[in-house]
Chains A and B, each alone.
Chain A
Amino acid sequence: MTEHVNTELPAYHEPSSSFAKEIELEPGGSGIMHCIQCGMCTASCMVANMTDRYRPRKLIQKILLGKREEVLTSELPWLCMTCRLCEERCQEDVDPTDIFTAVREIAAREGYIPAVFQNAIDKVLEDGWMLNDSYTDFEEDDRSDLGLDADLGWNTEFVKKIKKRYFKGGIEV
């Protein structure tokens, strides 16, 4: 019997795009290449604990594999609570929180942004602060009863400059 020697090299997995490199250049994204896929982040994550939809390690894996479209159009990067428990525990100094924020920033640039985020962004850029619509006579009275100033004095002009400079119609350009 002749011995079969496998002369073929093992198959290499090449990422299907340079998405991970793109993330690496974004603020906070620099650690992504150090991820060893240990899963400590998923083990620490309360969102993962409560729903099967979300697994931070898997999401990082998808980025490393280059699945750009799939990640950018998915709700997953927006499910991170940014609690940074995983970041505190990651032994490779990867910041999953900042990585997902970088993903969100790129997704927003390309027009993928969940409606709740878009609405909140529009509000802040319109009013200068988050809760203008919720601040009614009722809350004003509570403040006055507590001896606090009912006039909150928020600046509304600065956000107009922010909007003009960094956003067009609410979505970042």
Chain B
Amino acid sequence: MKEFVLYTGCTTPVRLPAYERAVHVVLEKLGIKLTTMKDANCCGAQYIESVSHTAFSAMCGRILALAESMDLDILAICGACSGSLKHVKHDLDSNEELRNEVNDILEEEGLKYTGTVQVKHLLQVFREDIGYDAIKSAVVNPYKDLRLAAHYGCHVTRPEEIVQVDDAENPTIIDRIIEAVGGTPVDYTGKTRCCGGPLLAMDDEVGNAIGRDKIENIRAENADGIVTACVFCDIQLTQVQFGEGASDKPKIPCMTLPQLLGPAIGIDSESLGIQLNKISPQAILEAH
């Protein structure tokens, strides 16, 4: 049985704990063992990343080194965390000076980054460690007549040569899983565009306009739901459907990928925390 250490990041445990829960139960059912990383620190994405490449490398470096000390590869479920950890791993592996600098700080704690650890985003675990065939054969309760729009997340898939998750211009992992559970994946304008979330701090109006544009592109294809693979994207594509400036058309439920997968492989919706979803995906759950 393949085992990973789960680095939850800052946001999932607080803002979307149902995602964390769904990751646990779905991966366990599909034969992946998870241990949650403790004593971790923030990866430094966006904020520390913007002002000091060295400090950012040290913060991600510590997370990588913690996983090495546990002798486990990392599973990241947030686009920002997986992108940051992969970027810094790439930098540490190719820049000895930076690696020495980071190891110098880590040494006081008895930690060391050597490069043996791998970082995987959840989508990679589904494709590489579980596989589409195993997912298909685990399905006991397939969906029927369901049109679903995949949203991959910028930092999950780009830059392709560093993150190595999927074809960055035409990603297919979520779409193939939608198919595997009996749904119909729908393409839409701007599928690989950003949700607008990273802009909220600097300009929430523009950030929300970007998110709403995506929602309307998805609506134009008559999708019944949106399937996400990053905590920030899921929250952003949900919250732009509320408040001032939101469309008065029916809301389109967002679900994280394991929440969609769970019911199809026989996990009850409560164990997946679906009752906490802000836009109820009841219609999706009933489409069997």
Which of the 9-residue segments B49-57, B123-131, B239-247 touches chain A? Answer: B49-57
User: Residue on B with the closest CB to A87?
Assistant: B159
Contact with A129, one of B36, B42, B105, B196 (Cβ below 8 angstroms):
B42
Determine the main DSSP class of B at the interface with A.
Answer: helix
With A75-B202, A130-B11: A84-B54 Cβ-Cβ less than 8 Å? no
Give per-residue flags for A152-173: 1 if the beta carbon is below 8 A from chain B beta carbons, else 0: 1111001101100111000010
Contacts of A75 in B (CB 8 A): 202
B50 pairs with A117, CB closer than 8 A: yes
Asked if A33 lies at the interface with its beta carbon under 8 angstroms from chain B, I say no
Output the residue of A88, A125, A129, A158 with the most chain B CB within 10 A. Answer: A158
Residues of chain B within 8 A of A104, CB atoms compared? 50-51
Return B237 CB to nearest CB of chain A, in Å: 14
Number of interface residues of B (CB under 8 A): 60
Q: Given A50-B210, A84-B158, A124-B47, are A139 and B55 also a contact pair (CB < 8 Å)?
A: no
Q: How far is the CB of B167 from chain A (nearest CB, A)?
A: 11
Q: A47's contact among B39, B49, B199, by CB below 8 Å, is which? A: B199
Q: Which residue of B lies closest to A128 (CB)?
A: B41
Would you mind naming 23 contact pairs between A and B with Cβ atoms under 8 Å apart? A27-B91, A46-B210, A75-B202, A78-B50, A81-B154, A87-B159, A88-B159, A95-B159, A121-B48, A130-B10, A131-B15, A135-B14, A142-B17, A143-B13, A146-B21, A153-B39, A155-B39, A155-B41, A158-B59, A158-B62, A159-B42, A165-B105, A167-B55
Other than the given A101-B53, A117-B201, A124-B47, 7 more pairs (CB < 8 A) read A27-B53, A85-B194, A101-B50, A108-B52, A135-B14, A146-B18, A166-B52
